[in-house]
Structure 1
Amino acid sequence: MASILIKAATIVNENKQFNGDILIKDGFIERIDTSIDAKADTEINAEGLHLLPGCIDDQVHFREPGLTHKAKIFTESRAAVAGGITSFMEMPNTVPNTLTQELLADKYAIAANSSLANYSFFMGASNDNLDEVLRTDARNVCGIKVFMGSSTGNMLVDNRTTLENIFTNSPMLIATHCEDEATIRHNLNHYKMTLGEENIPISLHPVIRSAEACYLSSSLAVELAKKHGTRLHILHISTEKETHLFDNSTPLADKKITAEACIHHLWFSDADYETKGNLIKWNPAVKTAADREGILKAVLDGRIDVIATDHAPHTIEEKAQPYMQAPSGGPLVQHALTAMLELYHQGKITLEQITEKMAHNVATCFRIDKRGFLREGYWADMVLVDLNKPWQVEKDNILYQCGWSPFEGTTFKSSVVSTIVSGNLVWDNGHFVNHHLSGQRMAFNPQA
């Protein structure tokens, strides 16, 4: 494995910035210092650039197996690496749903043969697979995923007894999608009756999948976690009201209940449905500007712990269907970091906070072994960014297999210059340098 010496970078790490060098050998960070005089196979002049720990995305849908007309682990991991995301955790609502240990092992085998980024996969829970869930090894699987709201296949867990059993017995962190299904069905039926199914506009998506539906489900998850002492991580918080379910009075390493915000809920609002339409149709829905600002406030004050993407690509033909037929979700991994850096340029968040929420805190929350920080002895996962190199998102520079982005036409002020994954320089100045597989299976410290 080639050694790499990064010279004269502005290093952003663990709530501080400083100028320095980093030496990488055999996949790991060997030395961090103000100046390193050493020979390496590759030397990178990073003067004028900022060096951050590689982002860890704790929620993606890379569609393999079974939905490979939308995306593959190879294609989406390439896009992630180009966007500065060096590690991902992928969700179990593939086809077939990842509801057995054997199917979980199949996904790891696919990633071992195709992923450019480091990887882990959630074990899925259903109403009838508790025995399989309890077989999950917390040392090499990131967590258990529970859909307490709409999902595909057999993954909606809406039985109270099943939820009690999962929360009581789970050997590891439970990540939840929280939307109350009964509330959504009630709202949807109302608009089917009053407007007709074919006439429901996308603008009603956040009304149908309402703030009330989110809060009812999220508060139930918090109630169950407190009752059973469960490690709970609530995904994609989409309302200001939900942010008050969480607190910032405890250090993250000691928190039992944590939360995530997603890029689209920090960027878009319901005013954008008029121009973006189904391209910003997600579950939970993008809601009001007040919700967006409330979520950002909770990110900044520590009630929300991590920022992720919920990357969930569909074909543009699927998205072009009428509201009721168009699937929810969109591609984000290539543009997540540059979108957050845009908020930095707007004075809404600091570089240190971006690094904390997209790297440090994900590693701490999930107890990832030797990743998420720029520390000697840790895996060399890092990204060099140029804060003053604007670029516009266009069809010809979108790397997702689906070929579109809700950010198309947006000009970002910052660019990802280089990405290093497990000690390998994979992305450099707009090109993939090494097409060999750099991604490693992530390991975890469940007793940390």
Structure 2
Amino acid sequence: MAFQLSLVLAEMVAIGLNDVDSVSLAGFASGFSVVDKSWQQIASMGSDGYVTESMILHVNAASHDAIAANLTVLADKVRQVQEQYGAGNWRFVFLRSQTAYETNARQAHVRSIVLGKMDSTIGDTFDQDERILSLPITIERGPWETLLAASITTTAINQLGGIYDAASAVVGDLPARVHKLSLNAADTVEAWVGLRGSRFGIPTVFTGVFGWAAVAFSTAGNTGTDTTTVADGTAYGGNRLNCNFGSVVTMTRRAHTNFIRLGVSTGEYAGSFLVLVRAKCSDGATTSYVRLMTGIADTLAAYTLSSHEPVKVSSTNWKLYPLGILNTQLQITGGDLGKTGIGIEAERTAGSGALHFDVLGLVPYSEGLIYARMPGTKVIFLSLLSPVGERLVEDTVRSSFGYSQFVPLAPGASRLVYFGQSDTGVGLSDTDIVDLAYYPRWAMLRGAE
């Protein structure tokens, strides 16, 4: 296959990118040909992966008018690069390339193009040969990525820590660029999608949902101040923790656990996690605040835990609440993650009712995370992330817009962990179908991947 190099204007749509037009920089297909050995590629190893490269183009055509027309097309690409940072613009410029013996083409988002001084626009070379001997061009581009988005589409999975193993792990040697999250859901307004790979352990043994009543340190059913285990058919595992604030209504520890108590292979739980809790109040007049604690925990009485920021809980429906980030590697004692501690503090600021909580959720954070939220009762339909970081979250009729966050997907990520809920909360049997699309990335060449 002949060497390919071109600048491509592509339009972003839900399924990926559609080419709008292009100008070739090789073999005079568009009147330009990159000078041999003038383009020296730089590995995309910086913090955002963008690098600045230069090359020299030969310009040739059948007439000066044709040269002018080709230069106008090239100048259009400079203008289009500048326009792609306009609000609401969904057209972007990419540098596309494929070596003579590279199996797959690759492309990189272009952040800027600068044209240099043209050589020989007067004299015999230009007048008789209709040729410009050199046109320097400097391009700032991102990492190389695939032309088509890869995807992970789940079956119906539970909204409380449902898992799905992709047919193949994320490829590439740089974190993949997230393109889209869409849900086949009836009423989901908030969703967390985490990815787990081989970086911190065996992904297929990872689970992200536990019942507080089953894992909390306890004695005679008591897990902390004013907090006991209570049977509840609506709770995860059939039991919840019930904090009645009978003796202490101010903020204090109500329950804690560690990774040994979770009953998992602790060596597979290195990394960072967004910690969720499912909680509710016993009546509508009660308002409570819940706070995550992290650190070291050995027993019910022996622990060293630090507090995070409080989160308000006032609904009488079971709802998921994000409490903060747990980095297990910060808590390693003697190389063992097992005593990494997770705790819950709570206070009551209004009313006389109790706080109920049951689910401890761990959403993988280090190897990829997608969060989406719609306002009110609007249902999440589509969440898009553009190559320049613009975010769009739409409902099913595209009449309302929400909020999203993205963490790039690490190479090797393969297990998807999902939490979601409607505006009224989440039940034990609620499910969604998750569709995640992304672009694998490379620092240098793509090759056969």
Which category describes the TM-score, using the shorter chain as reference length? under 0.3
Higher strand share: 2
Rg larger for: 2
Higher helix share: 1
